[in-house]
């Protein structure tokens, strides 16, 4: 992954994360605000509903008050007090309840027994415990002749017709579907009533939840089973309980529901009134806002990616140019420069870097030129020194011979002839020596180009051993040890130049082992290379010698020219190979030549 | 059978068809039923002679209040007054003809199924509060009875205890939990109310009783019904009551002791629990003359006359 891609990825990720974080925060905040408002609205609606519920309770109380104040009931109370015979009023409650539009009415005599009952006419003569209620209105589960029980809002009024005798009216309205239907609801509000149909006497403990018992004004409550937890909680705790209910698993069909326990005077929960307000509108608004947020976020991310592309390209282009320029410099093209941007105002770091790079390459080129110049001067000095050294040795005998010859001219002819002959021989030898020195220098300067052909490294090694093994064993008692791999080691190389380089190394090794030793030549393939090692057991080299060994004209020998290893290095380099020297502290030196292995094909 | 003529004279053996198209052999023949009005016309060929009244219209499905209004304005001459409305009829100063107690209100108890256990039937008989039925529902117009025949006919009615004994009922019930029972009531709202009251009484005794409409597909376990006292002769009356209770065995006993034994044996089975004897009563219009009631409480229309209106 290059810099531009990294920059693009980093910028895109950064912007995307930021955009998503902002979008998420906004959405969460909006959801919280919506839910808070929804809960407030629900609480308001529930409060209004409770007021309306109380208003209906007050209406029941008012109806009972009106009934109690009617002439008919007052007359009945008077006559009952006078006659003491309640039997004639056994059907009176039904008529009175019908006239007052009440569902329940029981006329209870002074003895606390029912004189007449509208909802269960056959109950006359039985006691009615609710007759002693003091609350203005209260809830009561009323048993019916068919064995069922219904919930009602009741009120009790007492009529005194004498000092002791009194008549009580226990009247109420049924809390059922029609009652729920009369209650005002706002759009989206659904009210329900959960009440056990079991009679009060039979209901010793709260029965398990039955969804069919939850009724709405229009009949069944959709998703009634979802209300179970809320209703059970309200029934257990006796406290108003609220929560969000998902009616069919979808968010859009959820409601904000409140379960209001309806209790009797002893605190027993007789029924639970549920007020559910649809969250559909809120969810739709949320989804609309979410869709907008997602659209904005997506657009933002897309724009961010495009901007990142532009920024990455703008930032990375000069760096890429710098990188390419650095690669060219590394490849030896020191004249490489990078274009510098012309800015009207200010310069950034990349401009400084480009300028510095160009300055650096210019400096490097200048320094290289100076170094080449100084090296050239140094080389000429070294060459001059070496030449002076090499030429001084034969010149001194030449001078002495010439001076001796001049002095010998005064000698007798026979002696002169003898001296002349000896002197001319010496002069010839020294001149030949001078020619040899000049030839070696000439050879170094005229290193030929390698003529490549397919050879095997084994052949080169065997040829060198064949040539020098006998000489080494005879002159210095050197034992030759050759280790060759059985695998083929093909090379595209000039056999003569390689032989010459290897011969140089073998001769150096033989020279290093004046007291004898072991000369090991090995060749083996290493991946796509062929490694040729020449190891001796001589005195070894110092680290400094190892470092300077391949420098032309450097030698550790008394009479060396310092060109042998330089020629070896030149040959190896011409074959795209490398040469290195290792010298362990215990002695000996190992020259390692690595050459690229030719392809098998 | 010495009482064969009496039996044949019963309503169930009424010969009701003749080739002329009119229905009935008595003083009046049925002409038709249209718009909730049943029309009877005088039978010229009646063996007792033609009645004085030419025709009788019986209007059905009219409330008691409307019927009494009809009497007041003269658009009706005779209306039925249920026993529980007698007090009101007197309060409204209507002319009322009232028979002696001639209708036996009884609770018929099934002897099969759950109630095949005689102890449970006995518990039901002990749990019913006859006093409440008589005093409140029937407005003190009925006679509480635990016997099939009224005391005015036999004199031994007091030997059958009519008081409610809830404790004994519980003993007979034995703490059993019988399945829910059904109670059907024949008749109008008062009979339904009486049935509800009996159901309430039985609930106190440990029975779960549900009041159902009469004539359902399944026969009810209990049935509240009225049985007419067809004759002033004890044996004939007893026979008619037993026949009404689906007991076809003829009563051969003639003496009060014998009749008592027959009643005792029958009532000990608790398949029919006598509750009340009720009278028949009628409100009579101002132009009706010489109307009397027969021994079974039905009006003798043949002997009645209508005064012409000016």
Lowest mean pLDDT among A180-184, A386-390, A489-493: A386-390
Domain match, B108 and B251 both: yes
Beta-carbon contacts below 8 Å between A and B: 34
User: Which of B137, B208, B210 is the closest to A90 by Cβ?
Assistant: B137
Same domain, A189 and A306: no
Indicate whether B216 and B236 sit together in one domain: yes
**Do the Cβ atoms of B208 and A87 come within 8 Å?**
no
The percentage of residues in chain B with a pLDDT greater than 90, rounded to a whole number, is: 32
Nearest-CB residue to A125 (from B132, B140, B194): B132
Answer yes or no: is pLDDT of A203 > 60.
Answer: no
> Residue B260 has what pLDDT?
92
DSSP A60-95: HHHHHHHHHHSHHHHHHHHHHHHH---GGGTTHHHH
This model's pTM is above 0.90: no
pLDDT reported for residue B1:
46
Question: What is the nearest CA distance from A175 to chain B, expressed in angstroms?
Answer: 24
- Is pLDDT above 60 for A104? yes
User: In chain B, whose CA is at the least distance from the CA of A143?
Assistant: B200
Q: Do B193 and A121 touch (CB under 8 A)?
A: yes
Shortest Cα–Cα distance, A119 to chain B (Å): 12
How many independent structural domains does chain B possess? Answer: 2
List CB contacts (< 8 A) between B200 and chain A: 122-123, 126, 145
Interface touch B193/A123, C-beta < 8 Å: no
Measured between beta carbons, which residues in chain A are less than 8 angstroms from residue B199? 122, 145
* Same-domain check for residues B183 and B195: yes
Within this chain, do residues B264 and B295 fall inside the same structural domain, yes or no?
Answer: no
* A379 belongs to a structural domain: yes
Q: Mind telling me how many Å the CA of B67 is from chain A's nearest CA?
A: 19
The answer to whether residues B119 and B39 belong to one domain is no
Kindly state whether residue A332 falls inside one of the protein's structural domains: no
Least confident of A214-223, A459-468, A520-529: A214-223
User: B84 and B115: one domain?
Assistant: no
Same domain as B268, residue B176: yes
Instruction: List CB contacts of A435: < 8 A, sequence separation 6 or more.
Output: none
Beta carbons of B196 and A124 less than 8 Å apart: no
Does A335 fall in a domain?
no
- A369 lies in the same domain as A458: no
Distances (CA, A) of B105 to B9, B190, B198, B207, B283: 23, 12, 12, 21, 22
> Of the candidates A418, A446, A474, which is a domain's last residue?
A446
Instruction: Give CA–CA dist B103/B83, Å, rounded.
Output: 10
CB contact under 8 A, B196 and A146: no
Strands B209-213 and B181-185: parallel
Least Cα separation, residue B152 to chain A (angstroms): 26
Question: Residues B57-78: pLDDT tens digits?
Answer: 887 778 888 888 988 888 888 8
CB contact under 8 A, A87 and B210: no
Chosen for mutation from A116, A145, A198, A199 (greatest number of chain B CBs closer than 10 Å) is A145
Rounded Cα distance between A196 and B285, Å, is 54
Write out chain B residues lying below 8 Å of A201, CB-based: none
Task: Write the CATH number for A122.
Answer: 3.30.450.20
Residues A251, A236, single domain; the answer is yes
Domain count, chain A: 5
Chain A residues at the B interface, defined by Cβ less than 8 Å, are 86-88, 90, 120-126, 145-147
Question: Is B140 in Cβ contact with A145 (below 8 Å)?
Answer: no
CA distance A575 to B73: 149
Taking contacts as CB-CB distances below 8 angstroms, the residues of chain A near B141 are none
Q: Which of A87, A121, A125 sits opposite B196 (nearest CB)?
A: A121
The nearest alpha carbon in chain B to A115 belongs to B136
The model's confidence at residue A96, banded by pLDDT at 50, 70 and 90, is very high
pLDDT of residue A594: 94
Are residue A570 and residue A535 in the same domain, yes or no? yes
A372 shares a domain with A353: yes
Which chain B residue's Cα is nearest to A148? B210
Q: Lowest-pLDDT range, A434-443, A463-472, B104-113, B234-243?
A: A434-443
Q: A146, B132: Cβ pair inside 8 Å?
A: no
The pLDDT value given to residue B12:
58
Give the gap in angstroms from C-alpha B208 to the nearest C-alpha of chain A. 9
Tell which of B197, B199, B206 to mutate to test the A interface (max A CBs under 10 Å): B197
| Residues A144 and A214 occupy one common structural domain | no
Nearest C-alpha of chain B: how many angstroms from A261?
Answer: 31
Residue A108 CB: number of other CB atoms within 10 A?
Answer: 27
Copy the structure tokens of residue A464.
Answer: 């060198």
The contacts found for A266-269 with CB under 8 angstroms, 24 or more apart, are A267/A238, A269/A206, A269/A234, A269/A235, A269/A238
- Domain residues for A542? 453-596
SS3 B76: coil
Q: What is the pLDDT of residue B5?
A: 59
Looking at CA atoms only, how far is residue B193 from chain A in angstroms? 6
- A380, A413, A446: which is the final residue of a domain? A446
| ipTM computed for the complex | 0.79
Cβ proximity of A472 and A538 under 8 Å: no
Task: Quote the tokens at residue B293.
Answer: 């009631």
Ranges A59-68, A138-147, A386-395, most confident: A59-68
| Residue numbers in B near A125 (CB within 8 A) | 132, 136
Q: Do A171 and A242 fall into the same domain?
A: no
Residues of A in contact with B137 (CB under 8 A): 90
Q: In this structure, are B155 and B27 located in the same domain?
A: no
CATH number of the domain to which A260 belongs: 3.30.450
| In a domain? residue A491 | yes
Q: How high does pLDDT run on average in chain A?
A: 84
When pLDDT is averaged across residues A360-368 and rounded to a whole number, the result is 85
- Indicate the residue of A86, A88, A122 with minimum beta-carbon distance to B193: A122
Bigger pLDDT: A369 vs A186: A369
**Domain assignment of residue A209, yes or no:** yes
- Closest residue, chain B, to A117 (C-alpha): B193
Which of A446, A471, A499 delimits the end of a domain? A446
CATH number of the domain that residue B230 is part of:
3.10.105.10
Check residue A202 and give its pLDDT.
Answer: 47
How close, in Å, is residue A196 to chain B by CA atoms?
A: 19
**CA distances for A371 relative to A328, A364, A375, A566, B271, angstroms:** 20, 10, 6, 20, 141
Could you tell me which chain B residue has the CA closest to the CA of A90?
A: B136
Contact: B136, A121; criterion CB under 8 Å = no
Considering CB atoms only, which of B135, B197, B210 is closest to A122? B197
Q: Using the beta-carbon criterion (under 8 Å), do B139 and A120 form an inter-chain contact?
A: no
Whether residue A144 is found in the same domain as residue A161: yes
Residue A600 has pLDDT above 70, yes or no: no
Q: Are both A469 and A385 inside the same structural domain?
A: no
> pLDDT at residue A309 above 60?
yes
Residue owning tokens 């009278």: B279
Residue B135 and residue B8 share a domain: no
B288 vs chain A: nearest CA distance in angstroms?
Answer: 30
Please work out, in degrees rounded to the nearest 5, the angle formed at the alpha carbon of residue B219 by the alpha carbons of B215 and B220.
Answer: 95
Is A601 within the bounds of a domain? Answer: no
Q: How far apart are CA B110 and CA B273, in angstroms?
A: 11
In a domain, A329, yes or no: no
Q: For residue B84, what is the domain's CATH number?
A: 3.40.190.10
Residues of A in contact with B135 (CB under 8 A): 87
Burial A41-62 (b: 16+ CB within 10 A, else e): ebeebbeebeeebeebbebbbe
Strand order in the sheet with A529-536: A478-484, A517-526, A529-536, A589-596, A578-582
Residue B246's domain comprises: 101-279
User: Which residues in chain B have their CB less than 8 angstroms from residue A79's CB?
Assistant: none
Residue B10, pLDDT score: 60
pLDDT digits (tens, 9 = 90+) for A175-193: 888 878 877 777 878 888 8
Q: What is the DSSP letter of B133?
A: I
Check CB contact under 8 Å for B87 and A146: no
- Same domain (yes/no): B69, B165: no
- How many CB atoms lie under 10 A from the CB of residue A146? 12
Q: Are residues B33 and B108 in the same domain?
A: no
> Same domain, yes or no, for B206 and B156?
yes
* Sequence-separated (6 or more) residues with CB below 8 Å from residue A491: A454, A455, A456, A457, A460, A498, A530, A575, A595, A596, A597, A598
Asked if the Cβ–Cβ distance from B200 to A121 is below 8 Å, we say: no
Percentage of chain A surpassing pLDDT 70?
94
- Residues A19 and B51: their CA atoms lie apart, in Å, by 109
Q: Per DSSP, which regions of chain B are E strands? A: 28-34, 37-42, 55-59, 78-80, 95-109, 143-144, 181-185, 209-213, 222-228, 272-284, 288-289, 305-306
Task: Assess whether A151 and A256 both reside in one domain.
Answer: no
Q: Do A122 and B196 touch (CB under 8 A)?
A: yes
Residues A165 and A254 in one domain: no
Same domain, A468 and A514: yes
Judge: A122–B140 Cβ closer than 8 Å, yes or no: no
Q: Do A145 and B199 touch (CB under 8 A)?
A: yes
Closest alpha carbon within chain B to A114: B136
CB within 8 Å: B200 and A88: no
**What parts of chain B have a pLDDT lower than 50?**
1
Q: Give the residues across from B57 on adjacent strands.
A: B39
Could you tell me if A516 and A478 are in contact, meaning their C-beta atoms sit under 8 angstroms apart? Answer: yes
Neighbours of A299 (CB within 10 A): 11
Mean pLDDT, residues A158-162 taken together: 75
Contact predicate A511/A501, CB 8 Å: no
User: Which residues does A419 contact at the CB level (< 8 Å), separation at least 6?
Assistant: A404, A405, A408, A411
């Amino acid at each position: 992954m290059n810099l531009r891609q990294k920059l693009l990825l980093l910028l895109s990720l950064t912007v995307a994360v930021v955009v998503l974080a902002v979008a998420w925060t906004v959405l969460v905040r909006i959801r919280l605000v919506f839910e808070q408002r929804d809960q407030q609205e629900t609480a308001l609606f529930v409060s209004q509903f409770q007021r309306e519920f109380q208003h209906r309770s007050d209406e029941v109380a008012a109806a009972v008050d009106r009934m109690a104040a009617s002439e008919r009931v007052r007359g009945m109370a008077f006559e009952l007090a006078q006659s003491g015979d309640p039997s004639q009023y056994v059907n009176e409650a039904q008529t009175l309840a019908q006239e007052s539009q009440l569902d329940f009415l029981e006329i209870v005599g002074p003895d606390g027994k029912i004189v007449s009952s509208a909802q269960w006419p056959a109950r006359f003569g039985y006691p009615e415990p609710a007759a002693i209620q003091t609350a203005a209105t209260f809830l009561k589960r009323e048993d019916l002749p068919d064995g069922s029980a219904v919930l009602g809002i009741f009120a009790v009024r007492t009529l005194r017709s004498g000092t002791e005798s009194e008549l009580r009216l226990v009247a109420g309205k049924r809390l059922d579907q029609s009652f729920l239907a009369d209650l005002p609801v706002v759009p989206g509000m659904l009210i329900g009533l959960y009440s056990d149909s079991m009679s009060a006497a039979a209901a010793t403990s709260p029965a398990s939840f039955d969804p069919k018992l939850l009724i709405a004004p229009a009949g069944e409550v959709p998703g009634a089973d979802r209300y179970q937890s809320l209703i059970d909680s309200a029934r257990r705790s006796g406290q108003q309980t609220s929560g969000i209910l998902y009616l069919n698993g979808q968010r859009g069909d959820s409601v904000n529901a409140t379960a209001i326990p309806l209790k009797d005077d002893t605190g027993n929960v007789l029924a639970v009134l549920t007020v559910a307000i649809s969250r559909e509108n809120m969810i739709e608004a949320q989804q609309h806002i979410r869709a907008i947020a997602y659209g904005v976020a997506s657009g933002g991310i897309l724009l961010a990616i495009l901007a990142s592309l532009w920024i990455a390209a703008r930032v990375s282009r000069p760096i890429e140019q710098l990188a390419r320029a650095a690669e060219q410099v590394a490849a030896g093209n020191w004249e490489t420069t990078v274009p510098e941007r012309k800015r009207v105002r200010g310069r950034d770091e990349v401009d400084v870097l480009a300028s510095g790079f160009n300055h650096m390459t210019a400096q490097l080129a200048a320094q290289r030129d100076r170094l080449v110049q100084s090296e050239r001067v140094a080389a000429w000095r070294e060459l001059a020194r070496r030449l002076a050294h090499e030429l001084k040795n034969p010149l001194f005998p030449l001078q002495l011979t010439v001076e001796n010859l001049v002095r010998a001219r005064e000698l007798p002819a026979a002696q002169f002839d003898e001296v002349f002959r000896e002197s001319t021989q010496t002069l010839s030898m020294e001149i030949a020596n001078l020619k040899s020195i000049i030839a070696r220098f000439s050879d170094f300067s005229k290193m030929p180009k390698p003529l490549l052909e397919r050879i095997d490294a084994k052949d080169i090694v065997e040829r060198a051993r064949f040539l020098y093994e006998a000489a080494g064993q005879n002159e210095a008692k050197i034992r030759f040890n050759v280790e060759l791999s059985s695998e083929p080691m093909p090379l595209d190389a000039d056999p003569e130049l390689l032989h010459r380089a290897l011969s140089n190394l073998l001769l150096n090794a033989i020279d290093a082992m004046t007291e004898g030793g072991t000369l090991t030549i090995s060749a083996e393939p290493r991946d796509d290379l062929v490694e040729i090692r020449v190891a001796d057991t001589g005195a070894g080299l110092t680290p400094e010698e190892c470092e300077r060994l391949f420098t032309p004209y450097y030698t550790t020998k008394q009479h060396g020219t310092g060109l042998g290893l330089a020629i070896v290095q030149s040959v190896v380099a011409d074959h795209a190979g490398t040469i290195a020297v290792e010298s362990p502290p215990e002695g000996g030196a190992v020259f390692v030549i690595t050459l690229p292995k030719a392809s098998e094909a | 059978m010495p009482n064969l003529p009496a039996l044949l004279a019963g309503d169930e053996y009424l010969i009701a068809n003749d080739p002329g198209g009119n229905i009935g052999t008595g003083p009046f023949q049925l002409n038709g039923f249209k718009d909730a009005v049943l029309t009877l016309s005088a039978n010229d060929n009646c063996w007792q002679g033609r009645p004085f009244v030419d025709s009788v219209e019986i209007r059905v499905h009219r409330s008691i209040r409307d019927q009494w209004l009809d009497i007041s304005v003269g658009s009706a001459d005779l209306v039925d007054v249920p026993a529980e409305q007698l007090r009101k009829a007197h309060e409204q100063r209507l002319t009322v003809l009232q028979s002696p107690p001639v209708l036996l209100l009884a609770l018929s108890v099934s002897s099969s199924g759950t109630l095949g256990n005689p102890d449970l039937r006995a518990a039901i008989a002990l749990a019913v509060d006859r006093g409440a039925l008589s005093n409140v529902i029937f407005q003190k117009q009925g006679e509480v009875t635990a016997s099939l025949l009224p005391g005015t006919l036999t004199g031994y009615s007091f030997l059958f205890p009519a008081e409610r004994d809830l404790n004994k009922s519980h003993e007979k019930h034995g703490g059993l939990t019988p399945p829910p029972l059904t109670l059907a009531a024949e008749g109008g709202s008062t009979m339904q109310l009486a049935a509800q009251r009996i159901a309430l009484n039985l609930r106190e005794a440990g029975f779960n009783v549900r009041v159902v409409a009469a004539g359902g597909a399944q026969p009810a376990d209990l049935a509240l019904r009225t049985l007419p006292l067809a004759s002033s002769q004890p044996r004939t009356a007893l026979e008619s009551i037993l026949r009404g209770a689906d007991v076809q065995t003829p009563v051969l006993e003639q003496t009060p002791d014998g009749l008592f034994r027959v009643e005792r044996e029958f009532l000990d089975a608790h398949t029919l629990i006598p509750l009340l004897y009720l009278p028949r009563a009628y409100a009579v219009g101002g132009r009706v003359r010489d109307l009397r009631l027969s021994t079974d409480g039905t009006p003798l229309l043949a002997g009645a006359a209508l005064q012409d209106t000016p």
